[in-house]
Chain A
Amino acid sequence: MIRKNGPQRWKNIHVTIDQPLEDLIDIDNSNLQGIKLDTFGILNQTSKDINDLIQGAKSSKKQLKAIGSGWALSKIHVTDHYLLNTKLLNKCFEIDDQFFHQDFAEDKRKYIVIAQCGISIAELNIYLELPKVANQVPRSLKTAGIGAGQTIVGAVSGNTHGAAINFGAIPDFVVGIQLCNGTDQPIWIERSTYPVLNQNFVDGIQSKLIRNDDDFNAALISFGTFGVITAFAIETEPIYQITYPTIFQINHTKLSSIFQDSNYYSGLHHLEFIFDPHTQDGYHMIEGTKVKYEDGHPIPTPVWIITSRKGYAPGDWTTKFLLNLPFVSAAYKSKVQYKEYLKRSVLSNVRGTSGQLFTATITYLEGYNETAFAVSIQDAIKTIEIIKQETKNAKLPLVIQARAVGPGNAIFGFTNHLPRSVVFEFGIVYDKNYPIFEEKLISRLVASNIKYTLHWSKNALINPKRMKEMYGESNIQKWKSSRYKLFEHDMDLIRVFDNAPLILAGLESPPIVV
C-alpha cells in the first residue's frame, strides 16, 4: 500500500544532504483486504503500485526517486520532488524448481533468492545465514561492504564494494533485475549469457523479459535513473566464515611488492590496508581468508561502533569540532584518529560469517563525509604517494582505508579496474575544504596519467569530462542507449528519473545515434 506523507525536509543518514521535498511516499506489502499474498502476489502488488506512482509523476511532470536507506553521501539518488521510501518492502523469496531456466545448473538453484528492493543487507544476512525452514541450506552473500544498513538495491545501484579481492563488488552477485519504469509492464532483465529464470517466472510477475548483456550491465549500476528496481534475483553460496589473523604492519617496499604479486593475494577473500597519510611509512594490513563454516567459534564483537559500553559517544557535532580545532596540527589529529580507528574499526584475530563481521549500522557521525575513488592495483603505490602529499599540503586530519576488489561487468562499475581495483576511502569533515581537496586529488591523478573512477554514492564532482576519463565514450553511449531503450524512448518518462547529479554528469541526454 501507498502512504503519502506530504511536503517536508529530508536528511540522509549522514546528514550530508538536508533539503525540502514535495512528497515523501511510503510503500509497503500490506493490502486493504488483509489478504496474505504469495510471492507473485506481493511482487505484482508492489510493481503495480510503483508503476501507478511513476505514471502520476509523469503526468504532473515531477521527478521521482527511490531513496533506499538514504545511505549514500552524494545526491545521486535524490530529487526535491517525490522520494519513495522502499524500506518497508523487505521480503525475500525462494524459487520453485519449475521457474528456473533449463540451462541453469540444478545444483546452483538452491542458492538463488529473490530479494525485494527494501531489504537491508543485515536483514538479508539473517535470512540467508539463519534459515527458518528446516530443509533450507544456510547461505552467505558472496561479498559485503562494511555497512549492513543499506537496502540491497541501494547498495547495488551505488556500487557498494567491500574488499573481495578475488570476487567483485556487491552488484556482481545480482543475476536478475525487476525494473518498474512506467512503461506498460515491469521489465525482468537477465544477461543473455547467464539465463537464470524462465518465462513462467516472468509471466508470474507479469513482466516482460529482456535477456541482453548490455541492458543488464547498464541497469545494474544506474543509481535510480532507469526507474525503480523492485526486486533482484541474487546468487549466494553455501555459508562460509572469514578468518582474520591479527593485523600486522608492513613498510612501503613490502606493500609495493604485494601489489605486483598476484600469487600473494590469490588465496585471500578480503584484502584491506589502512594508513595515516601524515606518517612517512607503515601500513596496517587486514587480510581475511574464506574458510568452511564451523559452529563453536566465539561470536565476533561488532566493530565500527563509536559508542562505549555505557552508551557514551561523541555528540553530533563533536567530531567536526575536534577535527577543526585550531592550534592542533593535522598530523596530531590524524594520529589520534588512526589510533581510535585501529581500536574500533578493524577486523583482527576474529572469525565469523559475513553477517557477523560486517555490521556497521548502529551509529553514524552526522555531517561527516566519506569520499572514495578506485585505481588499478598497479597504480596504487603512485596513488598513495599523491594522497600523502596532498593531505599534508591541505593540512587535513585523515585516516586512509584502502580495499581491493575484483573486477565486475557493470558498465559503470567503478571497481572494474584490471587486474584488481584498490578503492581509497577517507572520512572527512563535510565543509568547504572537502570539494577543494577532492578536486585537487583528481587533478593530480589525471596529471600523473592514473586512470581513476569515483564512487557513485560518495562523490559529487562527476561532470561529462570526468565521465569520459573514467568510462570512455563508447561505454557512456552504451549505457545511455540501454536507458532510452528500456524507457521505450518516452521522453516524459525519462525526465521522471533525471536529477541534478545526472544532468551534471551529462548522462541525461539521448545517446548519439551512429
Chain B
Amino acid sequence: MHTTTKLILAYNLEIKPSFAYQSSHQVVSKVLFSIYLVRQRVQINFQHFALLLLIIFSAQSCTTVHVYQTGGPGGREMGNAPSTEWKSDVSNTFLYGAIRDDVPIENCALGDGTRINIEEIKIEKNIWRIGLYIVTLGLWDSSKISWRCAKPCNP
C-alpha cells in the first residue's frame, strides 16, 4: 500500500471514533490535514472539497445556550433533572421576524396525554447557520432548538 494511503487510513481510523469529543482546533487541524492527504491521492474538484468542508463544519455546533430551571425546596437543588432525552427541531426565521417558525413541543406529556413541563432548552447555531445569517444580512436566521421535559410531580 502506498505510504500516503496508509497515512490517510491511519489518520482517519484514529479520527473517527474520537471526532465528537476533539477540541475545535484539533478537529480543524485534523480535517485540513486529512483533506490535504486525500487531495494527494484522489482527483476531487474544488467544489466537492468545499461541500465536504461544509458538511463537516455544519455538524459542529458553534454557539450553544442552555435554558433551564434552578432551585428547589429548602436549598435542595433540582436543576437539570429531566424526564426525557433530548429532542430537536430546526427553527428558521425570515425577513427579520416577519415570518417565524415555531417549535411546538408535543412529547412533554405522559402516555395518557397528561402534560408535564419543559425542563431544559438548548439553542445551537453551527458555522453554517451563522454564515447563512451573515450572507443574507439577517434575513434568514436559523437555529437548532432542543428540549427535554420535566419530571412528573411526585406527591
Contact = CB atoms under 8 A, between A and B. Distances in A.
Interface of A: 1-3, 5, 10-11, 15-16, 18, 24, 26, 28-32, 34, 67, 69-70, 85, 87-88, 90-92, 118-120, 122-123, 125-127, 129-130, 132, 148-149, 299-300, 302, 315-317, 320-321, 324, 352-353, 355-356, 359, 361-364, 367, 429-432
A82 B89 CA distance: 22
Q: Is the interface of A mostly helix, strand, loop or mixed?
A: loop
Contact of A300 (B75, B81, B85, B110): B75
Given A126-B73, A367-B21, A431-B18, A1 B78 contact: no
Contact of A359 (B14, B21, B23, B77): B77
Contacts of A352: 75
A132 B14 contact: no
A299 to B, nearest CB: 4
Across chains A and B, which 9 residue pairs bring their CB atoms closest together, nearest first?
A1-B111, A299-B75, A359-B77, A362-B79, A30-B112, A30-B110, A320-B23, A355-B76, A367-B21
Contact of A356 (B64, B76, B79): B76
Interface in B110-155: 110-112, 114, 151-152, 154-155
A430 B83 contact: no
Contacts of A1: 110-112
Given A88-B151, A90-B83, A324 B25 contact: yes
B33 to A, nearest CB: 15
Interface of B: 14, 18, 20-26, 61, 63-64, 66, 68, 70, 72-87, 107, 110-112, 114, 151-152, 154-155
Given A90-B154, A315-B64, A367-B21, A361 B80 contact: yes
Given A362-B70, A363-B66, A431-B26, A31 B21 contact: no
A120 B24 contact: no
Contacts of B86: 11
Nearest to A303: B77
Contact of A30 (B73, B75, B114): B114
B21 A299 contact: no
A300 B14 CA distance: 46
Contacts of B24: 317, 321
A70 B81 contact: no
Given A126-B73, A361-B79, A432 B111 contact: no
B115 to A, nearest CB: 11
Contacts of B107: 3, 5
A356 B74 contact: yes
A202 to B, nearest CB: 24
Contacts of B63: 315
A149 B68 CA distance: 14
A438 B25 CA distance: 24
A18 B61 CA distance: 14
Contacts of B82: 87
A149 B152 CA distance: 15
Contact of B151 (A24, A123, A125): A123
A92 B20 contact: no
B89 to A, nearest CB: 13
Given A1-B110, A316-B64, A431-B22, A90 B85 contact: no
A362 B110 contact: no
Contacts of B61: 316
B12 to A, nearest CB: 14
A3 B111 CA distance: 7
28 contacts: A1-B110, A1-B111, A1-B112, A15-B20, A24-B85, A26-B84, A28-B111, A30-B111, A31-B111, A67-B85, A85-B84, A85-B85, A87-B84, A90-B151, A122-B78, A149-B80, A315-B63, A316-B61, A320-B22, A320-B23, A321-B23, A324-B23, A353-B76, A361-B78, A363-B79, A429-B21, A430-B21, A431-B21
Most chain A Cβ neighbours within 10 Å, of B21, B64, B70, B112? B21
B112 A31 contact: yes
Contacts of A316: 61, 64
Contacts of A5: 87, 107
Nearest to A316: B64
Contacts of A431: 18, 21-23, 26
B112 A356 contact: no
A98 to B, nearest CB: 23
A362 B119 CA distance: 11
A85 to B, nearest CB: 6
A3 B70 CA distance: 28
A361 B81 contact: yes
A317 B62 CA distance: 9
A122 B72 contact: yes
Contacts of B14: 432
A129 B85 contact: no
Nearest to B26: A324
Contacts of A359: 72, 76-77
Given A1-B111, A1-B112, A28-B110, A120 B81 contact: yes
Contact of B111 (A2, A125, A356, A364): A2
B27 to A, nearest CB: 9
